Structure 1
């Protein structure tokens, strides 16, 4: 059954044309990594995230990145974070998810209107 909602309600619920996208991250650190090295990595990571108008919600092993204001993370911002992570010596590996609905992760991503 289709749900018909007013534009105002769709905006409040962040659905349909108001869907906001983000992406999930998980980190795997090099074996034997010291706590101070991980702390330094997290501080550098926070600086690069914030300087690109993004926010990270999570812990030092996994989390979600969203836009710091209303709206969606772009594919370019996602690729920039992924490229930066590839250069970090503290990481043995990491995963970056495709763009997902930041409010309702189980919902499919709605293609932008033409």
Structure 2
């Protein structure tokens, strides 16, 4: 039987009406980028993300990987945010094989 939580517990645990979502984005590099090119790509991506009301954890170790959430104190990105990120990544000539994941629970990911 599933444990029932009161409103305060649901808020603290990000459950029910307080559930928050995020999504992944990834791409591979078309050519091996230099450190300066990676820095410029990340700086540009961070500016784009912040300008569109989101926050991200991004990496460029062997490919471009990012996880995005809303920058609102309590909120989630929308389908429109996913499409904006896809369009931004599609517009970068140094990236290919772009994948943008579905919205999923940001606090309690489903293990595969």
Identify whether the pair has TM-score above 0.5, normalized to the shorter chain: yes
TM range (shorter): 0.7 to 0.9
1:77 maps onto 2:102 in alignment: no
Equivalent residues, number: 107
Matched ranges for 1:1-114 at <5 A = 1-60=1-60, 61-69=64-72, 70-106=74-110
What is the Cα deviation at residue 73 of structure 1? 0.6
Q: Any unmatched runs of 5+ in structure 2?
A: none
Distance (Å, rounded) in 1 between the aligned partners of 2:67 and 2:33? 23
Distance (Å, rounded) in 1 between the aligned partners of 2:59 and 2:3? 36
